[in-house]
Amino acid sequence: MRKILCLLIIILLPSITFSQVINTLTQNEKKKGWILLSNGIDTKGWTTVRGQPVPVTGWEIKDGVLSTLKGGKGGDIVTINQYSDFDLKLDYKIEPGCNSGVKYFFTQYETGGNLGMEFQILDDILAEDNKLENHLCGSFYDVLAPDASKKKINPPGEWNSIRIVSKGMKVEHWINGTKILSFKRGDKVFTEAVAKSKFSKTIPAFGMVEKGRILLQEHGGLVSFRNIKIRELNK
């Protein structure tokens, strides 16, 4: 009996040790300066792009998960605060065929309107916008494609984890623990790619603003987010 009990402890210990309640921070994360952008209870800290409360007809929070509502037309939502140098992490889950994204440095340009650099979230197989490499999941949307050989994405209906790191002019896109794209804002590769994109005529130059908000995109499909957390790197 004692041997059986010991065996059960050995089997269960990893799940007990490594499991973490969603939308919480470990003591180590708190020490490093991580904060939650969503508490999993309400939409405090978020607004619509126009600064209005997040519409309950378009977004809901259930069991700690922030999700769009089918046909709700809730529109994109943004953080109240702006960020420059940061490390952003979150989990997402989509329905088949879904197109969504996480934008950063989202702000109003003098010419071009409200824009942000987008970490594309997409069902690469079934979504309509899957014809260009720089439109696929993990891309810097319409500008730079991710490294497809490194990309390991769980299918629609399952959770994936993304990470966006911005420090100075360097930006990294990660998915499920693997870096799939790295670039430097303002260098030759970046500038030439922007010039070929739909953002070529913005003022100031697209992606060259100093700070902006984090945006969760509502693009008509069902997408869910959880464990949204950020650490400012200039502190």
Structure confidence by residue, pLDDT tens digits, 133-157: 999 999 999 999 999 999 999 999 9
The more confidently predicted of residues 2 and 9 is 2
Give the mean pLDDT of 33-48.
96
C-beta of residue 80 within 8 angstroms of C-beta of residue 86: no
Identity (one letter) of the amino acid at 216? L
**pLDDT of the residue at 71:** 84
Q: Which of 36-45, 65-74, 148-157, 176-185 has the lowest mean pLDDT?
A: 65-74
Residue closest to 231 by CA, chosen among 178, 167, 187? 167
The more confidently predicted of residues 158 and 235 is 158
Identify the band that residue 86 occupies on the pLDDT scale cut at 50, 70 and 90.
Answer: very high
CB neighbours of residue 92 within 10 Å: 24
Question: Does 53 sit behind a cis peptide bond, omega within 30 degrees of 0 on the bond before it?
Answer: no
With tokens 């922007």, the residue in question is: 194
Hey, which CATH number is domain 22-232, 3.40.109.10, 3.40.50.720, 2.60.120.560, 3.30.379.10?
Answer: 2.60.120.560
Q: What is the pLDDT of residues 51-70, one digit of tens each?
A: 999 999 999 999 999 999 98
C-beta of residue 137 within 8 angstroms of C-beta of residue 171: no
pTM above 0.75, yes or no: yes
Q: How far is C-alpha 187 from the chain's CA centre?
A: 24
**pLDDT of the residue at 1:** 55
Residue closest to 102 by CA, chosen among 61, 137, 153? 137
**pLDDT of the residue at 2:** 58
Residue closest to 74 by CA, chosen among 54, 93, 94, 92? 54
Q: CA–CA separation, 217 vs 95, rounded Å?
A: 14
The more confidently predicted of residues 4 and 173 is 173
